[in-house]
Amino acid sequence: MPMNAQFPKWLIPAFGAFLFILVFSSRLFVKIDAGEAGVQYDLFTGLNEDKVYGQGLKVIAPWNKMFIYSTRIQEDRSVMEVLSANGLTIRTELSYRYRPIQEKIGVLHNNVGENYHERIVIPEIRSATREVIGKYLPEELYSSKRDSIQTEIFDLASTRIQEKNIALDAVLIRDVGLPEKLKQAIERKLQEEQSALEYEFRLTRAEKEAERQRIEAEGKAAANRILSQSLTDKVLRDKGIEATLRLAESPNAKVIVVGGGDEGLPLILGNN
């Protein structure tokens, strides 16, 4: 190439743009995957809380930064020791599901930050658990109240967490740890209560059966009294005559003696 040849004017800016993209490509292009959302911090204007970026490839200025949050439901566990209503220490294991409210990610990031789970979710779950279980006795955690206690913890924690732009999906009591002797005592008490309920049920059923039999016997007695009062001598004679006529019409051999029976009814004598 001749020494006096000149480069095209556009080649130098193009080369500079190529180097710029090459060096800052990792900051120019941001990929937001499925189940994620992002908020951008602008070096000159700051964070725009109302602008939430959805899925896909985003192009931003290299001096800006994109903060990406998972919007999927996440699960974690918490093990803690709490005091019951009678002052006994109870070891409780909870599992809970949570996620950030997508349209409020900008507010969440500005007020709390990416470590919102450690700063908000865990403390509120623990606080609600201690507050609710502190109103109940240990044996109530082994009874039907366990579900209501679990619901109460969820309602209390959910209300507080939602104020911080985080949604709580569920809270589950997975395990309750008590001293073995106390646990056995509670189980014996529950068994005795079940036995007492079963005995009460049997007693109630026997009382109902006796009442049914009494009502049935009274009904039969009343029916018999009504029937006895309706069977007069005239009715009995008419019934006897009807029966005699039906027997007389039968093909079996017999001898009929008129006036041979009680009350003047015919007397029927067969071959035997």
172: CATH: 3.30.479.30
Residues 135 and 82 in one domain: yes
Answer whether residue 225 is part of any domain.
no
| pLDDT of res. 236 | 60
Average confidence score pLDDT of the chain:
79
| pLDDT of res. 98 | 97
Answer whether residue 166 is part of any domain.
yes
pLDDT higher than 80, residue 146: yes
Answer whether residue 196 is part of any domain.
yes
CA distance 29 to 21: 10
Give a three-class secondary structure readout of the chain: CCCCCCCCCCHHHHHHHHHHHHHHHHHHEEEECCCEEEEEEECCCEECCCCCECCEEEECCCCCEEEEEECCCEEEEEEEEEECCCCCEEEEEEEEEEEECHHHHHHHHHHCCCCHHHHHHHHHHHHHHHHHHCCCCHHHHHCCHHHHHHHHHHHHHHHHHHCCCEEEEEEEEEEEECCHHHHHHHHHHHHHHHHHHHHHHHHHHHHHHHHHHHHHHHHHHHHHHHHHHHCCHHHHHHHHHHHHHHHHCCCCCEEEECCCCHHHCCEEEECC
Average pLDDT over residues 211-219: 81
Residues 96 and 64 in one domain: no
Residues 66 and 78 in one domain: no
> Is residue 46 within 8 Å of residue 14, measured between CB atoms?
no
Residues 49 and 81 in one domain: no
Q: Quick: pLDDT tens for 218-267.
A: 777 777 777 666 656 666 666 666 766 666 666 665 555 545 455 555 55
Overall number of domains in the chain:
4
Residues 80 and 163 in one domain: yes
Answer whether residue 14 is part of any domain.
no
Residues 117 and 97 in one domain: yes
Answer whether residue 263 is part of any domain.
yes
Average pLDDT over residues 200-224: 79
Residue 108 pLDDT level (bands cut at 50, 70, 90): very high
Supply the range of the domain harboring residue 202: 185-215
Domain boundary among 132, 153, 178: 178
Residues 25 and 116 in one domain: no
Average pLDDT over residues 122-132: 95
pTM (whole model) above 0.75? no
Answer whether residue 3 is part of any domain.
no
Q: Which residues of 211-249 are buried (b: 16+ CB within 10 A; e: fewer)?
A: eeeeeeeeeeeeeeeeeeeeeeeeeeeeebeeebeeeee
Residues 104 and 173 in one domain: yes
- Per the model's pLDDT, the better-predicted residue between 131 and 236 turns out to be 131
Residues 123 and 161 in one domain: yes
Report which residue type is found at 254. Answer: K
Answer whether residue 9 is part of any domain.
no
Answer whether residue 34 is part of any domain.
yes
Domain boundary among 52, 70, 88: 70
Residues 168 and 195 in one domain: no
Residues 123 and 55 in one domain: no
